[in-house]
């Protein structure tokens, strides 16, 4: 398991990098899959460190669990397979 100090160090590094890119980068630099991934990882670390409430993290601001459940429901209707049975 990672230490809290290690998590905080990665989060701080990502915060600085993503802030710099978001603040000074051009559209190509800002709309980049690596930038998006870094933001998602930073958000996840912040949730793990309890800087983001679980309810908010599950909302459409981050994970959008409700939307994922709707997608799963559509798959259930299309395939006949049930999410509850999936392993």
CA pair distance 3, 35, nearest whole angstrom:
24
Q: Domain spans of the chain?
A: 1-52, 53-87
pLDDT in tens, 8-49: 999 999 999 999 999 999 999 999 999 999 999 999 999 999
Contact 9, 49 (CB under 8 A): no
Rounded mean pLDDT of 54-81? 96
Model pTM score = 0.84
Rounded mean pLDDT of 45-69? 96
pLDDT in tens, 67-80: 999 999 999 999 99
Contact 37, 21 (CB under 8 A): no
Q: Give the pLDDT of residue 6.
A: 97
């Amino acid at each position: 398991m990672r230490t809290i100090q290690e998590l905080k160090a990665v989060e701080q590094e990502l915060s600085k990098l993503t802030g710099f890119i978001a603040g000074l980068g051009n559209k190509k630099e800002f709309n980049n899959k690596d930038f998006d991934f870094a933001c998602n990882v930073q958000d996840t670390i912040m949730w793990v460190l309890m800087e983001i409430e679980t309810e908010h993290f599950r909302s459409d601001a981050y994970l959008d669990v409700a939307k994922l459940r709707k997608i799963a429901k559509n798959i259930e209707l299309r395939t006949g397979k049930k999410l509850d049975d999936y392993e």
